[in-house]
């Protein structure tokens, strides 16, 4: 089946689908009205309520738990059962592709193809985001150079530059060196493109009008008189919008078994909101009977931001959440051995060890309970490996059910594709066909003060006893009214390797102080970012980066992608 056929099956009118290159195309979403709660209610009254399934996970480890693989495998299994299903994921950033994590096309027999196309450039959306972001950065320095008629206070400029690579040497830079003709010298930084507020906006925007309004309201600093300055004050927002014209269109690809895959948006889940685009999910929900969407990292990161940020914009919550776990990762959380990203995995973690799995299950239990806080039922997917033992699976299943999960199912989608995820898909269908209504609810209401929102997340989901702010963060919190951000949701940037701020704290840490070092206001994305611990918005490369294995063959094939 061609991508044109898949687009037609999703209800995309012919003129709204554009082939882009081998294995990918773009969907112009303007045949649909913008997503709203009212739009979903209208469809439901017409008897058209597609299932919406979130895939999230336990606290990740360098071992890999397989959320993307599970999302793809389960979507293929649902199609195999006769449920017209689409999967919706983010586009991988080239930083992790060339660094430690590798690609984001799935694995084994549960992949989106061609995987090298997905992992490298795709349709250039991330590059468009970088260009739009950096256009604002250059316009700020241009205003300073040409008389500074806006009266920008250089010491308040908060807008960095971005590049879609891991490059620790760019975390702190000085621009404008070399004399008057090169601009005004000032200190700034580079972030990775996928952590950019522009990327967050692209993934949250519901229409061209919404996209343009959000870009216009991006703030970058203050005037000397204390007025908040926005992209529209520089007259650059229109050009920023124009750069993103086609980047706003969701990308269409296919799994290896022909399931339609929407690949759109790329925000990191530990330093941004970490979910595929609202408009991509909206396109899928209008053309499929079921949509499987994935949130980045664990349920405490991408999962929480899915519920508290993305679902508010989309206008509906999910019918169920699938939480992915592996025995191998639970052995690590149980203290059997530690792992360091970029270094060989201790062999002991490859062998069954029920006692460490039982100890590590505390993390799984906490993440199940985290999801239940949002009123959504949980099915645990035990992503199986041949080295696992039946005893370990029983421990995981018993702990999951005791924690309130609806079911816990061993799945072999990595090895067997859709056939290995049939039991998981059936468990999801069984739960979602129960007549009782899923009472999705955010963790907090919009009118809660920002500090209370942060505290509720940290104490309810992370296990913290309280939140401790740096002096800089406390002062920034007082500025919420100046940014018009009192009602914004919060987006906490923290390590992905622990429920806490400290990557060394495994399992389910409790009764610790959660440190917030910095507060940033994303007035275009319309959320408040709270930076915890030593999190970096520009990652670095490991001692043995993945790019060493990547090459282009004489036939034009990309080889060595993880």
Reduced 3-state DSSP string for 417-481? HHHHHHHHHHHHHHHHCCCCCCCCCCCCCCCCCHHHHHHHHHHHCCCCCEEEECHHHHHHHCCHH
- Per-residue pLDDT averaged across 8-32, rounded? 97
Retrieve residue 170's tokens.
């760019």
Q: Are residues 408 and 422 in the same domain?
A: yes
Q: Is residue 390 part of a domain?
A: yes
* DSSP states along 126-172: HHHHHHHHHHHHHHHHHHHHTT-TT-B-GGG----EEESS--GGGSS
CA distance 435 to 197: 40
Position 41 scores a pLDDT of: 83
Q: In this structure, what CATH number is given to the domain that contains residue 464?
A: 3.10.410.10
Domain end call among 182, 212, 243: 243
Give the Cβ contact number of residue 544 at 10 Å. 13
Residue 240: what pLDDT?
98
List the domain range (segments joined by +) for residue 483.
Answer: 450-532
- Whether 187 has a pLDDT exceeding 80, the answer reads yes
DSSP H/E element including 325: strand 320-325
266 half-sphere exposure, CB direction, 13 A CA radius:
33
H/E element, 117: helix 115-119
Paired strand residues for 24: 21
How many CA atoms lie less than 13 Å away from 494 in the CB half-sphere? 32
Query: CB-based contacts of 84: which residues, under 8 Å, 6+ apart?
Result: 9, 288, 289, 290
Shared domain for 26 and 144, answered yes or no, is no
Cis peptide bond N-terminal to 227, omega within 30? no
In a domain, 473, yes or no: yes
440 part of a folded domain: no
The pLDDT, as a whole number, for residue 365 is 98
Q: Are residues 284 and 327 in the same domain?
A: yes
Q: What is the CA radius of gyration of the chain?
A: 23
How crowded is residue 48: how many other Cβ atoms within 10 Å of its Cβ?
Answer: 12
Given CA atoms 221, 227, 230, 235 in this order, what sign does their dihedral have? negative
For residue 127, CA distances in Å to 89, 116, 132, 498 come to: 18, 17, 9, 31
If asked whether residues 271 and 351 sit together in one domain, one would say yes
Residues 494 and 419 in one domain: no
Residues 259 and 358 in one domain: yes
pLDDT of 415 > 70? The answer is yes
Please compute the mean of the pLDDT values over residues 360-371 and round it to a whole number. Answer: 98
In degrees and rounded to multiples of 5, residue 18 shows phi and psi of -125, 115
- Average pLDDT (130-137) is 98
Helix H or strand E segment including 106: strand 106-107
pLDDT value, residue 47: 78
- SS3 for 351-377, per residue? CCCHHHHHHHHHHHHHHHHHHHCCCCC
Strand partners, 490: 528
Task: Tell me what the pLDDT averaged over the chain comes to.
Answer: 95
Q: Is the dihedral of CA 165, 534, 308, 302 positive or negative?
A: positive
> Which residue, among 528, 435, 436, has the nearest Cα to 481 in the 3D structure?
528
- pLDDT at 344 > cutoff 80: no
- The answer on 424 and 279 residing in a single domain is yes
Residue 534 pLDDT class (50, 70, 90 cuts): confident
Residue finishing a domain among 210, 243, 276: 243
Mean per-residue pLDDT for 199-223?
98
Average pLDDT score over residue span 464-487: 96
> Residue range 457-466: average pLDDT?
98
Q: What is the pLDDT of residue 437?
A: 66
- Return the exposure string of 85-113: e unless at least 16 CB atoms fall within 10 Å of the residue's CB, then b: bbbbbbbbbbbbbbbbbbbbbbbbbbbbb
Cα 142 to Cα 91, 183, 264: the distances in Å are: 32, 7, 32
Q: φ, ψ for residue 531 (rounded to 5)?
A: -95, 120
Total structural domains in the chain? 3
| Among the listed residues 426, 71, 77, 32, the one whose alpha carbon sits nearest the alpha carbon of residue 263 | 71
- The most confident of 217-226, 331-340, 428-437, by mean pLDDT: 217-226
Asked if residue 151 and residue 114 are part of one domain, the reply reads no
Give the closest residue to 40 by CA, choosing from 457, 363, 318: 318
Handedness of CA 386, 387, 391, 396 (dihedral sign): negative
Residue 462 lies in a domain: yes
Q: What is the pLDDT of residues 48-80, one digit of tens each?
A: 789 999 999 999 998 889 999 999 999 999 999
| Same structural domain, 303 and 415 | yes
What the block records as the tokens of 266 is 């790329």
| C-beta separation of 100 from 198 below 8 A | no
Same domain, yes or no: 214 and 184? yes
Tens digit of each residue's pLDDT (9 = 90 or more) over 135-181: 999 999 999 999 999 999 999 999 999 999 999 999 999 999 999 89
Same domain, 196 and 85: no
Rounded Cα distance between 112 and 122, Å, is 12
- As given in the structure block, the two tokens for residue 283 are 């396109």
Distance CA 477, CA 493 (A): 15
- DSSP E strand boundaries for 202-309: 219-222, 228-230, 251-255, 260-263, 290-294
Residues 6+ away with beta carbon under 8 Å from 81: 422, 425, 426, 429
Calpha distance 28→26 (Å, rounded): 7
**Inside any domain, residue 443:** no
| Reported pTM | 0.95
Residues 136 and 239 in one domain: yes
Domain annotation covers residue 163: yes
CATH classification at residue 219: 3.30.1510.10
Say if 542 falls within a structural domain.
Answer: no
Domain annotation covers residue 557: no
Are 97 and 561 spatial neighbours (Cβ–Cβ below 8 Å)? yes
SS3 assignment, position 258: coil
Total residue length of the chain: 562
Question: What is residue 342's predicted lDDT score, i.e. its pLDDT?
Answer: 62
142 CB neighbour count, 10 Å cutoff: 12
pLDDT at site 200: 97
410 pLDDT above the threshold of 90: yes
Phi, psi of 51, rounded to the nearest 5 degrees: -75, 145
Domain boundary among 243, 270, 288: 243
The predicted structure's pLDDT at residue 341: 63
pLDDT band at 104 (very low <50, low <70, confident <90, very high): confident
């Amino acid at each position: 089946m061609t991508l044109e056929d898949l687009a037609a099956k999703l209800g995309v009118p012919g003129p709204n689908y554009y082939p882009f290159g081998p294995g990918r195309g773009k969907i112009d979403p303007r045949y649909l009205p913008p997503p709203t709660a009212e739009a979903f209610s209208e469809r439901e009254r017409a008897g058209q309520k597609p299932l919406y399934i979130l895939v999230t996970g336990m606290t990740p480890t360098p071992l890999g738990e397989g959320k993307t693989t599970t999302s793809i495998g389960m979507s293929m299994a649902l199609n195999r059962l006769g449920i017209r299903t689409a999967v919706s994921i983010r586009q991988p950033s080239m930083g992790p592709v060339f660094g430690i994590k590798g690609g984001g096309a799935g694995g084994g027999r549960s992949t989106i193809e061609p995987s090298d196309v997905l992992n490298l450039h795709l349709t250039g959306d991330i590059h468009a985001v970088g260009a739009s972001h950096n256009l604002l950065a250059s316009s700020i320095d241009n205003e300073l150079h040409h008389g500074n008629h806006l009266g920008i206070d250089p010491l308040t400029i908060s807008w960095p530059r971005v590049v879609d690579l891991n490059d620790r040497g760019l975390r702190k830079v000085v621009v404008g060196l070399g004399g008057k003709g090169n601009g005004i010298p000032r200190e700034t930084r580079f972030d990775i493109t996928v952590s950019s507020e522009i990327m967050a906006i692209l993934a949250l925007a519901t229409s061209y009008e919404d996209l343009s309004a959000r870009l216009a309201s991006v703030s970058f600093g203050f005037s000397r008189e204390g007025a908040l300055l926005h992209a529209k004050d520089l007259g650059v927002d229109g050009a920023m919008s124009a750069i993103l014209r086609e980047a706003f269109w969701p990308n269409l690809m296919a799994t290896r078994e022909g399931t339609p895959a929407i690949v759109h948006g790329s925000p990191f889940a530990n330093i941004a909101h970490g979910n595929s685009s609202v408009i991509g999910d909206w396109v899928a929900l209008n053309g499929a009977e079921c949509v499987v969407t994935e949130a980045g990292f664990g349920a405490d990161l991408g999962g929480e931001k899915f519920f508290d940020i993305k679902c508010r914009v989309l206008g509906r919550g999910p019918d169920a959440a699938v939480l992915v776990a592996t025995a191998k990762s639970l052995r690590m959380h149980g203290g059997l051995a530690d792992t360091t990203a970029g270094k060989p995995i201790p062999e002991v973690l490859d062998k069954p060890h029920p006692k460490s799995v039982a100890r590590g299950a505390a993390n799984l239990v906490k993440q199940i309970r985290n999801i239940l806080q949002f009123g959504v039922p949980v099915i645990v997917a035990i992503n199986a490996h041949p080295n696992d033992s039946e005893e370990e699976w029983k421990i995981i299943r018993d702990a999951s059910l005791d924690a309130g999960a609806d079911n816990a199912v061993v799945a072999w989608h990595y090895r067997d594709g859709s056939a290995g995820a049939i039991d998981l898909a059936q468990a999801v269908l069984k739960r979602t066909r129960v007549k009782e209504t899923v009472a999705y609810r955010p963790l907090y209401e919009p009118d809660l003060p920002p500090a209370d929102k942060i505290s509720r997340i940290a104490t309810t989901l992370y296990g913290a006893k309280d939140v401790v702010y740096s002096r800089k963060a406390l002062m920034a919190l007082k500025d919420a009214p100046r940014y018009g951000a009192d009602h914004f949701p919060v987006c906490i940037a923290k390590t992905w390797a622990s429920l806490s701020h400290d990557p060394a704290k495994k399992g389910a840490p409790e009764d610790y102080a959660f440190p917030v070092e910095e507060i940033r206001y994303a007035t275009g994305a319309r959320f408040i970012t709270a930076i915890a611990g030593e999190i970096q918005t520009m990652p670095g490369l490991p001692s043995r980066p993945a790019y060493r294995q990547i090459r282009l063959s004489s036939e034009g094939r990309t080889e060595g992608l993880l």
